[in-house]
Amino acid sequence: MRAPETVVGYVRTIADGSERRFIGHNPAGGAMIVVLLTAMAATAVTGWLLTTDAFWGSTAAQHAHSIIAHGVLLLVLLHLGGVALASVRHRENLVRAMVIGIKRAAGPGDVA
Residue 1: the pLDDT is 75
Q: Is 63 helix (H, G, I), strand (E, B) or coil?
A: helix
| 112 pLDDT above the threshold of 90 | no
- For residue range 72-106, list pLDDT tens digits in order: 999 999 999 999 999 999 999 999 999 999 999 99
Annotated domain spans of the chain: 4-100
Angle of helix 27-49 versus helix 59-89 axis, rounded to 10: 160
The radius of gyration computed from the CA coordinates of the chain, to the nearest angstrom, equals 18
pLDDT tens digits for 17-75?
A: 999 999 989 999 999 999 999 999 999 999 999 999 999 999 999 999 999 999 999 99
Q: Indicate the residue type of 62.
A: Q
